A and B are shown apart, each in its own frame.
Chain A
């Protein structure tokens, strides 16, 4: 089935530094990738939608200058958390729609746990 590979699975960084998270679609082309954030015991909240070759669309309240999204190819999308602060500590997950491959649905990466100290 469709697989989205997400790296790293966890990262600890110092406050003020930047962190890059990668998501790759391994056996299909993901024209659209979705980035979510999940705080403990809370639901997944959509941060932004990235389309290959164009600018990402951010949800209300998400700072586009802080969460940089690049979707330069049909198989790779990246999220960079710039100047990270402890309040950015969260679980970040990407997903791609796989309609046609698995019926209707979205395949998720395994997530990245970011801890900012």
Chain B
């Protein structure tokens, strides 16, 4: 079993839709939870990070962590074609600098 599971998609939605992206994990030692956006042939770009269970909002993006269920989500409101990319969840291992990534979900927002 992988430490971090993420549905690779692709996920195709119309412009304006609410997008829900999710990851599950098995390691209780994960400390920080991050979402990265990666455009084709580019490095990942940090969108949001959270530490504790609950919601964190930034503009059209909301990150949600449920540590009891080992489940994290990223919601994108009013999705735009420019949001089309691969979204990677990542988790840091406590007391290390290591990041463990999900496989990424490819999102396509069509006009």
Interface residues of A (CB under 8 A from B): 4, 6, 9, 32, 34, 41-46, 49, 91, 93, 95, 97, 102-111, 113
In whole angstroms, what is the CA distance A104 to B8 when docked?
A: 26
> With A44-B44, A111-B43 in contact, is A104–B103 under 8 Å at CB?
no
Q: How far is the CB of B43 from chain A (nearest CB, A)?
A: 4
Q: Nearest residue in A to B2 (C-beta to C-beta)?
A: A43
Write out the residue numbers on chain B whose beta carbons fall within 8 Å of the beta carbon of A9: 41
Contact A105–B34 (Cβ < 8 Å): yes
B98 at the interface (CB under 8 A from A): yes
Q: Flag if A108 contacts B49 (CB, 8 Å).
A: no
Is there an interface contact between B8 and A93, defined as CB atoms closer than 8 Å? no
Q: Is the CB of B41 within 8 A of A91?
A: yes
Select A109's contact among B4, B43, B46, beta carbons within 8 Å.
B43
Residues of B contacting A103 with CB < 8 Å?
Answer: 49
Q: What is the CA–CA distance of A44 and B43 in the complex, to the nearest angstrom?
A: 10
Cα–Cα, bound, A41→B101 (Å): 13
Given known contacts A41-B8, A44-B88, A111-B41, A105 and B101 CB-to-CB distance under 8 angstroms? no
**How many residues of B sit at the interface, in one of the four size bands?**
20 to 34
Residues of A within 8 A of B8 (CB): 41
Any chain A CB within 8 A of the CB of B110?
A: no
Q: Which residues of B contact A95 (CB under 8 A)?
A: 43-44
Taking the closest CB of chain A, its distance from the CB of B96, in whole angstroms, is: 9
Given contacts A41-B8, A44-B88, A49-B97, contact A6 B102 (CB under 8 A): no
Contact present for A46 and B98 (CB under 8 Å): yes
Q: Are A106 and B103 in contact (CB under 8 A)?
A: no
Separation of A41 and B104 alpha carbons in the complex (Å): 8
Q: A41-B8, A105-B46, A105-B49 are in contact. Are A113 and B41 (CB under 8 A)?
A: yes
Q: Which of B42, B46, B101, B104 has the most CB of A within 10 A?
A: B46
Contact (Cβ within 8 A) B97 A43? no
For B49, the chain A residues whose CB sits under 8 A away are: 103-105
Question: Which residues on A sit within 8 Å (CB–CB) of B99?
Answer: 34, 44, 46, 106
